[in-house]
Amino acid sequence: MTRTLLLTFSFLCSALLPPLAQAQQWPLPAARFEVEGRKSGYFYLGRQTQILEDDDFQNPGMFAVEAGSALWRKVEGEAGLSCASCHNNAAVTMKGVSARYPRFDAEKGGIINLELMINREREQRMKAPPLKYESEQLIGLTAYIGYQSRGLPRAIEVAGPAAPFYEKGKEFFFQRRGLTDISCAMCHDDLAGANLRGDVISQGQINGFPFYRLQWRSMGSTHRMFEWCNTSMRAEPYPYGSEEYLNLELYVAWRGRGLPVETPAVRK
Ligand code: HEC
Ligand code: HEC
């Protein structure tokens, strides 16, 4: 009975929501979650959690993708436009975009990530107020755009003008901090695969963000995860969208180069 309902639901969804139709093959074969020793967090999950991520009808992150799809088409701001007014079908125009973020941005003279890029589009092109970092709306739009690249390899540019910011992010990753006097690298490079208070420590890759974290019972951005890890190191976290976290995001994204976009990933 439940199964019939699910099938009907799945049929209706695919019939009613063409923009969500996926060009990429999903789920990916297990071998794709590792690239030259770089392993997605998926690799460290129990099978049950992997199944949640594999199946769009069980993946709780898909609610955010759907919310983002509605926002994509919503007219807001003084210009009387929506994202779709200019970009039309996200499955075509946004395909591959999130795989290239974060990136150096000349206008900013620093690193911009997808969240801040979405807000810039709202402010400059729609004349609409920016969305609050970590709000359901911003997570939704970020997840929706990320989803259009699902399965594509992350290609992060760190040469040229991005180089000094990459260096700062790398320094952050290796710097010991807080009362515990440990670095990101000490857990995510040295202890990947080890158990920590009921968690299996992964490599700390960010190819699945924004993701659904079962422990949070909600979606979260890369910067929320950085904040969580910083706090568990008994170190002062930085604000969402701060230069420190943007540089760190660039380094960590590059560290996971070639891993497939998994948005919306599911993690424990
Ligand atoms: C005390 C060990 C520890 C330290 C230090 C630490 N983390 Fe984590 N981190 C964890 C644990 C535990 C998790 C949850 C399980 C997992 O995915 O590794 C996690 C998860 C993550 C994830 C999510 C991975 C995924 O697949 O979704 C990212 C990204 C991350 N950490 C980045 C960082 C960064 C950046 C730093 C430094 C600011 C850091 N961590 C410091 C223990 C640590
Ligand atoms: C008035 C037209 C217009 C509106 C409205 C608009 N955009 Fe854009 N957007 C553009 C143009 C033009 C570019 C630069 C050329 C390009 O990359 O397509 C761009 C670039 C982007 C990029 C960068 C693409 C890349 O390759 O790096 C993203 C992401 C984006 N827009 C998302 C959005 C979102 C999300 C909204 C709604 C909140 C939105 N845009 C609203 C016209 C618009």
Q: What is the pLDDT of residues 161-206, one digit of tens each?
A: 999 999 999 999 999 999 999 999 999 999 999 998 888 999 999 9
Q: What is the pLDDT of residues 202-261, one digit of tens each?
A: 999 999 999 999 999 999 999 999 999 999 999 999 999 999 999 999 999 999 999 999
In a domain, 55, yes or no: no
Structural domain boundaries enclosing 201: 160-267
Residue 17 pLDDT greater than 70, yes or no: no
CA dihedral sign of residues 264, 266, 267, 268: positive
Determine the average pLDDT of the residues in 10-18: 44
In a domain, 78, yes or no: no
In a domain, 209, yes or no: yes
Query: Is residue 184 lining ligand 1, measured as CB closer than 6 Å?
Result: yes
Determine the average pLDDT of the residues in 261-266: 98
In a domain, 60, yes or no: no
In a domain, 169, yes or no: yes
Instruction: Measure 230 CA to ligand 1 centroid, in angstroms.
Output: 9
- Please report which ligand is nearest the Cα atom of 238: 1
In a domain, 227, yes or no: yes
Measuring from atom 7 of ligand 1, which residue has the nearest CA? 229
* pTM for the whole structure: 0.93
Number of domains, the chain:
1
86 is catalytic: no
The residue to mutate among 125, 127, 138, 152, having the most atoms of ligand 2 within 8 angstroms of its beta carbon, is 125
Measuring from atom 3 of ligand 1, which residue has the nearest CA? 187
Q: Which two tokens stand for residue 167?
A: 């260096």
Query: Where do we find the tokens 């180089």?
Result: 163
Determine the average pLDDT of the residues in 30-48: 97
In a domain, 259, yes or no: yes
Q: Helices in the chain by DSSP H: which ranges? A: 2-16, 47-54, 62-72, 83-87, 90-93, 114-120, 136-147, 163-174, 184-188, 222-232, 243-255
Q: Are 189 and 241 in contact (CB under 8 A)?
A: no
Task: Tell me the CATH number at 205.
Answer: 1.10.760.10
Ligand 2 atom nearest 122 alpha carbon: 38
Q: Which two tokens stand for residue 188?
A: 């995510």
- Please report which ligand is nearest the Cα atom of 175: 1
pLDDT number for residue 24: 65
In a domain, 242, yes or no: yes
Instruction: Measure 102 CA to ligand 1 centroid, in angstroms.
Output: 19
Which residues surround ligand 2 with Cβ inside 6 Å? 81, 83, 85-87, 97, 117-118, 121-122, 125-126, 141, 145
Q: Which amino acid, one-letter code, is at 157?
A: E
pLDDT number for residue 199: 87
Determine the average pLDDT of the residues in 26-41: 96
Instruction: Measure 201 CA to ligand 1 centroid, in angstroms.
Output: 7
Instruction: Measure 44 CA to ligand 1 centroid, in angstroms.
Output: 12
Determine the average pLDDT of the residues in 39-47: 97
- Please report which ligand is nearest the Cα atom of 142: 2
Query: Is residue 114 lining ligand 1, measured as CB closer than 6 Å?
Result: no
